[in-house]
Amino acid sequence: MWHPVGELPARVYWRRRVVVLAVVLALLGGVGWLAFSLLSARDGGASASDGAEAVPEPALERVVPSLTAVATPDPPPVAETVAEPPVAAPDPVPGGPCTDDMITLEVRTPGSVPVGSKPTFELAVANVAAVPCVRALDKGLQEIVMLDSAGNRVWGSNDCFPEASSDPRTLAPGEVVTVPLVWGGLTSEPTCSAPRVNPPPGSYLLRARLDTKVSPDATLTLV
């Protein structure tokens, strides 16, 4: 086999054998490369498939949990407030004291008087409760003041001639007690030390007080 015999020179036969051997080696190498390529392609597809199924979790999500994973506590239930019923005021006791809400107070005037005259005003106290009650009508607890249109004090019934008395009255339901009070027609102030003069013509307000009860304002016009 290794010593060819023939009519041709020996180098010709050796050259042919080398060519055949090279062709065989080339075929084997091609088959091997093809098999390797197929195996690589199959492994690469499997790796890509595995990579598509398992995506690595970002590092930030491994440290900070997502909002959906954080359990937020439910807000505490709001307690319902139950409105307490209003406390009813106790019924007036017959023969007890007349409180301010059991009486009305009114100052009555002639409406219009000349400057320098001495009109008489009336302090009217009425029991508007359903039971009789007692109210002190002492002179020291009664007062009428006069104010001008700007709200300045012009005169007060207790400024220069204060009086003292003790006069508890039992007022029947609906009863009205009227106390007269004369105005000297002059201005005054609480110390009665300022000169007293006739106020000028115009509109004035009169406001009465019986201890802690105050009346609505009444009008008086000096002409």
**CATH number, position 135:** 2.60.40.2360
The phi and psi torsions of 101 (rounded to 5 degrees) equal -80, 0
| Same domain flag for 135 and 199 | yes
Residues 104 and 212 in one domain: yes
**Are 58 and 104 members of one domain?**
no
- Helices (H), strands (E): how many in the chain? 2, 11
Residue 107 lies in a domain: yes
Place of tokens 């249109």: 149
**Which of 6-20, 60-74, 136-150 ranks highest by mean pLDDT?**
136-150
Task: Average the pLDDT over each of 59-63, 142-146, 152-156 and give the range with the smallest value.
Answer: 59-63
Is 95 domain-assigned? no
For the chain, the domain total comes to 2
Quote the tokens at residue 180: 């007269």
Do residues 51 and 133 share a domain?
Answer: no
Distance from C-alpha of 51 to C-alpha of 47, rounded to nearest angstrom? 6
Same domain, 42 and 144: no
pTM for the full model?
A: 0.58
Q: Are strands 218-222 and 112-113 parallel, antiparallel or unpaired?
A: parallel
Residue 20 lies in a domain: yes
- The residue written with tokens 């359903």 in the block is 130
Give residue-wise pLDDT tens across range 11-67.
Answer: 776 777 777 787 778 788 777 777 777 777 666 555 545 554 555 555 555 544 555
Range of the domain at 206: 100-222
Quick check: is 73 in a domain?
Answer: no
Cβ proximity of 205 and 218 under 8 Å: yes
| Burial category of 104 from C-beta neighbours within 10 Å (exposed 0-12, middle 13-18, buried 19 and up) | middle
DSSP string, 95-159: TSB--GGGEEEEEE--SEE-TT---EEEEEEEE-SSS-EEEE--GGGEEEEEE-TTS-EEEETTS
